[in-house]
Amino acid sequence: MSVEPIVDLQDVTKIYYKGDNEILTLDHVTLQIQQGEFIALMGPSGSGKTTLLNLLGGLDTPTEGRVTVCGQDLSLLSARELARWRADHVGFVFQSFNLLPVLTARQNVELPLTLQSLSANERETHAETALRVVGLGERMDHRPSELSGGQEQRVAIARALACDPNLLLADEPTGDLDAKSARDVMHLLKRLNESFGKTIIIVTHDPHAAEFARRELHLEKGVLHMERTR
């Protein structure tokens, strides 16, 4: 019996328009990713990695082709439905953490949970669990300014995990971190993939970070060139 892929890109093209210029960012990309995979998306700057990630997260729409994630053709959803779908199915981790500075670690993690029909107590329990999973059980009431870069990124990962998404998308998650913190974050992502079965896709320039993934995809000028599986 064939298993339906969690991500199915069919002949996806993305063109940006800057004035009269067309910028081809993705060129007829076709890709399937199975549930539970850990993918590293690599390539030089401007190769279309982040665009691909945004398409998978429903933050952007393709110029041509079809993007199906978690069994849902994203082109069929309105902006409001897409927002709701993201809240239920996707967790984002960004290079510069992007925690809300006015909220504590716990409150930052609770934030996406406010979109779910949960009581305040349930939200708090979920947030605390997510923070313990990333090893920050002791720093729940600290604000981002009171945390190190590595800890901030772990809070961001806990926030992405809080709603128990099917898919975790990370854009350069180690880009702003020192080598040790970067390694810690990659170990954490690997553990989330292996122990909790999370499907994870990271965009990275860093070959050391990419080594944690089980499959590497290389993009160049919007074309998927090469795959490597460990």
Partner 1 sequence: MRLVWLNLRRSPIRTALTVLGTAIALGLFCLLEALLNAFNAGVEMSSASRLIVQHKESLTFMLPKAYASRIAQIDGIERIAEGTWFGGLYEAPLPDGGKRQEFFPNFAADMEPYLKLYPELIVSPERYEALMADQSGCLMGDELAARLGKNVGDRVLLRPLIWPNKDGKHWAFTIRAIYTCTGTFDRAMMLFHHKYLDEGRSFGSGQTGFYWVGIQNPEQFSEISAAIDRLFVNSPDPTRTMNEKAFNMQFLSMMGNLKLLFRFIGTVVIFTMLLISANTMMMSGRERTREMAILKAMGFSDVYVFGLLVGESVAIALLGFVLGGVGIWALINLGDWNPKPDFFPIFKVPDAAMYSAVGIAVLTGVLSGIVPGLAALRLKAAAALRSI
Q: Which residues bind partner 1 (CB under 8 A)?
A: 50-51, 54, 57, 59-60, 79-80, 83-88, 90, 92, 94, 98, 100-103, 111-112, 115, 159, 163, 171
Task: Tell me phi and psi for residue 121, to 5 degrees.
Answer: -65, -40
185's tokens: 């974050």
> By C-beta, is 74 or 212 nearer to partner 1?
74
CA–CA distance, 115 with 127 (Å, rounded to integer): 13
Tell me the chain's radius of gyration from C-alpha atoms. 17
> By C-beta, is 8 or 88 nearer to partner 1?
88
> By C-beta, is 90 or 140 nearer to partner 1?
90
Shortest separation between residue 67's beta carbon and partner 1, angstroms: 13
Exposed / middle / buried, residue 79 (Cβ in 10 Å: 0-12, 13-18, 19+): exposed
> By C-beta, is 10 or 116 nearer to partner 1?
116
Helix (H) or strand (E) segment spanning residue 79: helix 79-89
Shortest separation between residue 149's beta carbon and partner 1, angstroms: 17
> By C-beta, is 91 or 150 nearer to partner 1?
91
CA terminus-to-terminus distance, the chain: 24
Shortest separation between residue 229's beta carbon and partner 1, angstroms: 29
Shortest separation between residue 171's beta carbon and partner 1, angstroms: 8
For 80-160, list the strands marked E by DSSP: 90-93
Shortest separation between residue 88's beta carbon and partner 1, angstroms: 7
Give me the DSSP letters along 177-207: S-HHHHHHHHHHHHHHHHHH--EEEEE-S-H
